[in-house]
Chain A
C-alpha cells in the first residue's frame, strides 16, 4: 500500500511519465551522438528528478533502483565511462523497469519489479567494464532512501524541482518556476491517476485572468448603464453588450485551448517503438516525424496512443518488406516510416505512412471470401476491400509473429478511433507503400451538430456522420426483404425512423413529408427519418453519464441558446438499435413494436 497524499502522487506520476519519455528520447539521441554532454546531462536530470520525487514520497523500491541508474549516468557525465551501445541498452532496459514501477505505483503498490535485479546486474556489469575502475557497486539493500532525502548524489547542474501544477499549489518563491516551462507535456495512454489533471503554462492562465478582469469591467459598465438608464444611452449600452459578447467568445476559445496539448508527447514514444520493433523484425527503418507541434484535445491525445501504436507496429512488421526484398525491388535498404500530424479545418489528421509493399488486394479479397465477408460473385470496390482489414479477427499474415498477425488489432484500432468520433481511411499502392489517415475532431468538448426536429423535441446529429439530407419522393422509397429502404444516389440504404427507435410521440409518419438525413460512419450508410431540419450549430458537449447513465443511441447532451437541454444522438448506433429488435420490419405498414432501449 502507498500511504501518501494522492494529489502529490498524481503530480509525481504525471511528471515521472514525462521525465521517462524524455529520458528515452535522450538515450535514442545518444545512440547517434554518444558524446553529447547536453544530452547526457538531460538524461541525468530526468533520472535524478524521478529519484528525488520517489524518495520524497517514500517510494523506496523505485528510488533505490533509480539511484543505481543515476550513479551510472553520473559516471558518464564525469567521463569516467564512455557511452557504449551496451550502456545505452542497459539504460533502455532500466527505463522499462522504471515504467513498470510507475505502473505498479498506479495500482497502489510500491515494490520491486520482476526483472529488476537482472537489469541492475547489467548496470553494474557495464560500469565494471568501463575504462576507469569504478568504486565497488553498493549492494541494493544498502540503498534505502529516507523520505525527503533526495540529493544523494550532489548534482552540479541545477536540481529540477517538481513543478507544481497551477491548479494545485502555488509555486514556492525559491523554486525555479520557469524550469523548462516550454517543455511540451508528454502525455499518453495512462490510467486515471495521470489523466485527471492537465498542465497549463502560467502564460495561458494569466491570459485568462486578464480576460476575466475585462469581462467584469464590462459587466460593471452595463450594470451601471441599466441602473441609471435613459434612452440617450442606448448606443453606449449596445456597444458595451457587443464588447461583452466579444469577451465571452474570447473566453470560450481560450478555455477550450487549455485542453489542447501537442501530439509531440505521443509521437516521441514511437522512436522507441520503431527501434524495438525494427530490431525484432530484423529490418532497418528510419522514422520521420512531422507536425509534432500540432495541438489536440488532451483526451484525444491520450486515447490515440494505443491505436497509433498498432498502426506503427503493423507498418514496420507487415508494411515494410525485409531488406533483401527491398533491395531487389530497387528500393533503399532502409525502410521509411512517416508519422505526421496536421490540422485542416475543424479536423486534425494523423498519418502513418510507409514506403513498403502496399496492401495485397487479391489476398485480402480472397481471405474476405473465405471468411464469408464478401459474397461470391460480387466485385467490391478498392475501399471496400481495404475496409475488410478492420473486421474482427481478420489477418492475412502467413505467420503469426510476436509483433502482429494475430488479427487482433485493426478492429480495435477502428473502434478506438470511432470512440473519438474519428474516421480512418487507407491509401495504398502496390510496391509503393500504404498510408493510414486518421481524421479526428479538434476537440471532444465542442461539436458541430445538425439540429433536427421530431415532434416537439429537438436533437443534434454530429455533422461528421452526416452525408446529406433530402425529402424523398415516393419513387425513391421501397422495401428490400421487408426492410424499408431509400435510394441515395443510385444505392438503396435502410431507413431508420427516429421517432420509432426513440419512441417519440408526435411525428410525421409519411416519409414523403419527412426529411431523410443520410448517415455514414465509414462502414455503414443509412437514412435517418426526421420531421424537419432546423440548422447547424456548434455546441459544447455535456455528459449525460455523470448524473444519469449511458442511454443507447444518445452520445451526450448540450444546452441550447434558450437554456433547454438538447440530446446529441450517437447517429451511427441508431441503425444498431433497429437491428436489436430482431431485425425484421413487418411487411405491412402498421404499428411497430417499440424497442426498449436499455440503459447500461
Chain B
C-alpha cells in the first residue's frame, strides 16, 4: 500500500487503499432495499449505475448517527463491485511505507478483525487500515 485515503468515524481514524477508491460523494438519501441488513442504507444512483451503500458505522457496530450533507460516501471498487461506504468525514491522503504497517493488534477499535488489514501510526494517532475487498464481499 503506498497511498491511502483516511477518514474518520467517531474518534477513530481509518484508511483504505487509494487504488480501491473511485470517488467521494456528499451524502444523499438512498432507496432502501427490502429486508436487507440494518447496515444497508439502500441503493443510490451513481450516474446511471445502481450502487449499494453500506453504513460503515452500523457495519462496525458503532452508535448510529442520522447522516446529513456533511457526511461522506466513499465509492470503492473491489472484486469488480462498486459499493458506497458511508463515513463521518474524509481526513487526508496518507503516504505509507510497507515498514510503517504493523500487524493487527487483538483489539482494534470498533472494526471487526476480519475487516482490518493492519495498523499504522500517524503522528499521535493510530490509523486502522481496512481490507476493502472483505468489506465489499461481506456487504453483498
Contacts and interface: CB of A to CB of B under 8 A. Distances in A.
Contacts of A234: none
A553 B34 contact: yes
Contacts of A549: 140
Nearest to A562: B45
B50 A544 contact: yes
B108 interface: no
B48 interface: yes
Given A457-B31, A548-B43, A566-B31, A542 B49 contact: yes
Nearest to A569: B34
A597 B35 CA distance: 6
Contacts of B49: 542, 546-547
Contacts of B52: 547-548
Contact of A551 (B33, B44, B45): B33
Contacts of B48: 542, 559
B30 interface: yes
Nearest to A548: B52
A551 B31 contact: no
B81 A554 contact: no
B36 interface: yes
A564 interface: yes
A548 B34 contact: no
Contact of B83 (A544, A547, A553, A599): A547
Contact of A557 (B43, B83, B139, B140): B43
B140 A548 contact: yes
A565 interface: yes
A567 B83 contact: no
B114 to A, nearest CB: 19
A543 interface: yes
Q: Is the interface of A mostly helix, strand, loop or mixed?
A: loop
Interface string A302-314: 0000000000000
A245 B48 CA distance: 18
A542 B50 contact: yes
A542 B52 CA distance: 13
A544 B140 CA distance: 11
Interface residues of B, number: 22
Contact of A554 (B29, B34, B44, B51): B34
Contacts of A595: 35
A559 B81 CA distance: 19
In the complex, which range does the number of interface residues on chain A fall in? 20 to 34
Given A542-B49, A564-B45, A547 B81 contact: yes
Nearest to B31: A565
A460 B38 CA distance: 23
Contacts of A329: none
Contacts of A567: 31, 33-34
B34 A565 contact: no
Interface in B1-60: 29-36, 42-45, 48-52
B82 interface: yes
Contacts of A544: 43, 50
A567 B30 CA distance: 12
A565 B30 contact: yes
Nearest to B29: A564
A567 B33 CA distance: 8
Given A544-B43, A563-B45, A551 B34 contact: yes
Contact of A502 (B31, B35, B82): B35
Contacts of B44: 565
A504 interface: yes
B50 A557 contact: yes
B50 A554 contact: no
A268 to B, nearest CB: 36
Contacts of A553: 34
A139 B82 CA distance: 55
B10 to A, nearest CB: 27
- Most-contacted residue by chain A among B33, B44, B49 (CB, 10 A): B33
A595 B35 CA distance: 8
A546 B34 contact: no
Interface string A504-532: 10000000000000000000000000000
Contact of B50 (A502, A548, A597): A548
Interface of A: 457, 501-504, 542-544, 546-549, 551, 553-554, 557, 559, 563-567, 594-597, 599
Given A557-B31, A564-B31, A565-B43, 19 more contacts: A501-B34, A503-B35, A542-B48, A542-B49, A546-B81, A546-B82, A547-B83, A548-B33, A548-B140, A564-B29, A565-B30, A565-B31, A565-B45, A567-B31, A567-B33, A567-B34, A594-B35, A597-B34, A597-B35
Interface of B: 29-36, 42-45, 48-52, 81-83, 139-140
